[in-house]
Structure 1
Amino acid sequence: MSHATDDAHATAAKSIEQKKEAATAIEGAGHESFSGKSVTINRPRADLFAYWRDFTQLPSFMDNVERVEILATDRSHWVVKAPAGKVVEWDAIITEEIDGELIAWASVEGADVTNSGRIEFRDAGERGTIVTATIAYDPPAGFIGKIVAKMFQREPAIQARRDLRRFKQLMETGEVATAARTAQQFAEEKN
């Protein structure tokens, strides 16, 4: 396999043709919003893929994901925080999977937030692995919903960047850095 040399995501392309090509790479390219983010993580591709593929582990670094329940090998149920204290839920199916390289998904009909996307893992030589998340979604309440989500920092494009940064921290250091002390830290200090 060749090594990637560019961390930039296809959504950052200058050419409209390249952006359209990136959009068609995920299910439901007709979604209202489209976002892609990449990060280089100093860990082997296989390790990162294995961690991500166990969807029940995703809440360990995805701030807005409350829980993911595995319903079948290719189907899961997601519970996610939304703006104003709301919670949204959906079932998702895996639409494509290449071991160690790619997981693509799409929400099933009736989802609170219609979405689809893919997570790709590419070798970056001695630097580790380039992890790219591409997400397409239809925000509830359309454009107004997207603005409200941005105000509450719950918009998927914002979250994708933050979640990938937390994934990098977790995979490289074993923990996600926070600015606040947790209840567990307070309990440990008392002992």
Structure 2
Amino acid sequence: MREDGTKRVVAAGAMLAGASIAALAWPWRSPERVAAASAGGMLLIWGLTHEEAFRRFAGRRMTRSGIASVHHDRAVKIERSITVQGRAEDVYRIWRNPENIPCFMEGVESVRAINGSRSHWIVRGPAGRRFEWEAEIYNERENDSFTWHSLLNADVNNAGSIHFRKAGDSATEIRVILSYEPPGGRFGALFTRFSGRDPAKQLELGLQNFKHAYESGKLAV
């Protein structure tokens, strides 16, 4: 256990040092500063990778449920909504098929349906790093809402729900609630925002992409 603790301290130190170097160097655009920012980013990514590997190893030892629960004290919560012109049942069917998500959601590289409730996700993160997990849909109310959570050994523990509410005779409000644990905790969240991969902004853009694609007829039900 002492060795595990040492590894976590080293990883945390790398994340702190990397974030500090990158944050201090980035505002100045000289070649030397850009190189320093890049080096800081690489150091932070190394720390994130090793910290997350430890957490996944520890999780395999401590949990048997198969569900990667989101720890609310470490989680980031995002809630966004948009209204589109279309029937709730039609909009619901598009979102309920996870393989449609990469067509409009920023950062989602691929989603493969495993069965009616489970799917495998690959998402692009900072510096091109890929994060993978399996997710399970549960607590489903057809044409109204569904809830999901990631399963054990996810690169990013996450959970959330999507709600579809009629807004007038021919419109639907889509509300997405997402909670996730940034790899590397608060240092990881800082680097994600710093690198332009802020999940909140990506979700906003994804909803706008969906609205445009759906209302223009590019997404078939």
Q: TM-score, normalised by structure 2?
A: 0.64
Q: CA deviation at 1:155?
A: 2.3
The one of 82, 101, 106 equivalent to 2:125 is 82
Residue 169 (structure 1) aligns with: 212
Secondary structure in 2 matching 1:58: helix
Please say if residues 29 and 136 of structure 1, whose CA atoms lie closer than 8 Å, have aligned partners that are also in contact.
Answer: no
Q: Which one has the bigger strand percentage?
A: 1
Please say if residues 56 and 70 of structure 1, whose CA atoms lie closer than 8 Å, have aligned partners that are also in contact.
Answer: yes
Note if 1:154 corresponds to 2:197.
yes
Comparing 133-142 with 144-153, greater Cα deviation is found at 144-153
Q: Equivalences for 1:81-160 in 2 at 5 Å?
A: 81-126=124-169, 128-160=171-203
User: Percent same amino acid among aligned pairs?
Assistant: 34
Instruction: Give the aligned residue type for 1:173.
Output: S
Residue 46 (structure 1) aligns with: 89
Residue 111 (structure 2) aligns with: 68
Residue 5 (structure 1) aligns with: none
Comparing 79-88 with 157-166, greater Cα deviation is found at 157-166
Q: Which one has the bigger helix percentage?
A: 2
Note if 1:57 corresponds to 2:100.
yes
Deviations 1:74-95 (A, max 9, x none): 1110000000010000000112
| Structure 2 portions without partners, runs of 5+ | 1-68
Instruction: Give the aligned residue type for 2:181.
Output: D
Q: CA deviation at 1:28?
A: 4.2
How far apart in 2 are the matches of 1:130 and 1:36? Answer: 13
How far apart in 2 are the matches of 1:116 and 1:68? Answer: 16
Deviations 1:68-126 (A, max 9, x none): 11112111100000000100000001121111111210001111000000111000013
Deviations 1:26-45 (A, max 9, x none): x8472520010010101110
Deviations 1:10-67 (A, max 9, x none): xxxxxxxxxxxxxxxxx84725200100101011101100111111111100121111
Cα separation, partners in 2 of 1:153 and 1:127, compared to 1, 3 Å? farther
Instruction: Give the aligned residue type for 2:76.
Output: S
Q: TM-score, normalised by structure 1?
A: 0.74
Number of residues of Structure 1 aligned to a counterpart in Structure 2: 150
| Structure 1 portions without partners, runs of 5+ | 1-26, 177-191
How far apart in 1 are the matches of 2:77 and 2:142? Answer: 25
Q: Which runs of 4+ in 1 moved over 4 A?
A: none
Deviations 1:111-169 (A, max 9, x none): 10000001110000136000000000000011111111112332221111111111111
Q: CA deviation at 1:174?
A: 2.8
How far apart in 2 are the matches of 1:97 and 1:154? Answer: 30
